Amino acid sequence: MKVLLILGPKNEKRISMTKYSEICLKIYQAKGYEVKVFRLSLLNSRNKFVRFFVRYFLVPFQLLSENADLYHVLDHSYGHSVLMLKKKCIITVHDLIPLELDLKKNKLHESLSKLLFKLIILIGIKKSSKILVVSKTTGDLLGKFFKVNKKILLSYNPPNNRVLPYLSSSSKDIDIILFGSSPYKNNIYALNACLEIKKKLRIHWINPNYSLINNLKSKHKIETKDNLNDIEIYRIYSRSKLILNLSLSEGFGWIPFEASQYECCAVMSNINIFRELHPSSINYLQPLNNVHYVSKFIENLLIEENFRKSVLRKIVNDFDKIKFSKYSITNVLGDI
């Protein structure tokens, strides 16, 4: 059987989707299938109308020359890419953040964007014989917005075949990692929590929001890095004490598990995905309306090594429980 894994364009830098495609590729190959990863293409035009036209109207034509028995859309933001196909399709939905959250000041623009995004997901759902969701949280949202339940195949993260390379570091010379620039990552909130800490912090921001950097530089030592590969990110984990995941929403929820493998403790917000994946750590999930409380918690973790290790152990324990779940991606894809 020929399988085509469909991903969005590289210039969108969806790191989690790229990792997910690598996992699916290995699983399909282990089943003896012939697998190809197909990257959709976009034009890097300065004209926003050209970009809009290419993304939403030309994308479906890119698959017409491809021949496969199964088309697996891994990036649900391109669910409409299978619009003209008559063969078997499945889709993975990893988050519904554009529908779940209000992140822009321009309400008209956001309403139109949500409508378009909902239509894209709906096309993917209608065309697919199976729908995969990467967490129960995502599945609940899919049911809420699209009334979908029977076609869902639930797959928890992290998958049980994801083995991270062993890396050692002579010292934990980074206090805190921040990750990403998207508004839903809530790094403004994390930044405000850091600014309340009197001690000069060593902060490493991966793929940062550069408009916020100067605020941090006034008080703390900060380094920034863009477009790191996996190994480079893992090395930063191994050098770091904490990573702040104070997100307003998440789909995969991978980062706390990944960081924990390198003894980097995650500070997580009290949202559905973290409550689902980290039941042992629920007492340590942080509120999104009390910066002072979060700031003190971060400070305690940095100062008290035993406390940090106790929180870290709970994250690792949850990792061990979930990775052998019957809902792992290995088991789910094995049934297709």
Residue 286: what pLDDT?
A: 96
Q: How far is CA 169 from the centre of its chain?
A: 26
Alpha-carbon distance 51 to 304, whole Å? 50
The predicted pLDDT at position 228 comes to: 85
- pLDDT at position 254: 84
**Domain 2-154 listed as CATH 3.40.50.2000:** yes
Note the pLDDT of residue 178.
Answer: 95
Q: Are 233 and 262 in contact (CB under 8 A)?
A: no
Alpha-helix runs per DSSP H in the chain: 15-30, 48-53, 97-100, 107-127, 136-146, 187-195, 210-217, 230-239, 255-260, 272-277, 291-303, 305-322, 329-334
- Tell me what pLDDT residue 37 has: 93
Which stretches of the chain score pLDDT less than 70? Answer: 13, 15, 157-163, 169, 336
Residue 158 preceded by cis peptide, ω within 30: yes
CA distance 164 to 153: 26
E strand or H helix that includes residue 221: strand 221-225
Non-local CB neighbours of 254 within 8 Å, separated by 6+ positions = 16, 19, 157, 158
To 10 degrees, what angle do helices 291-303 and 305-322 make?
100
Per domain, the residue ranges of the chain are: 2-154, 174-322
Closest Cα partner for 272 from 29, 88, 97, 48?
97
Token output for 21: 């495609």
Residue 248 has a pLDDT of 95
CATH of domain 174-322: 3.40.50.2000
Q: Do domains 2-154 and 174-322 have the same CATH topology?
A: yes
CB 34 within 8 A of CB 1: yes
pLDDT of residue 22: 84
Between CA 228 and CA 266 the distance in angstroms is 20
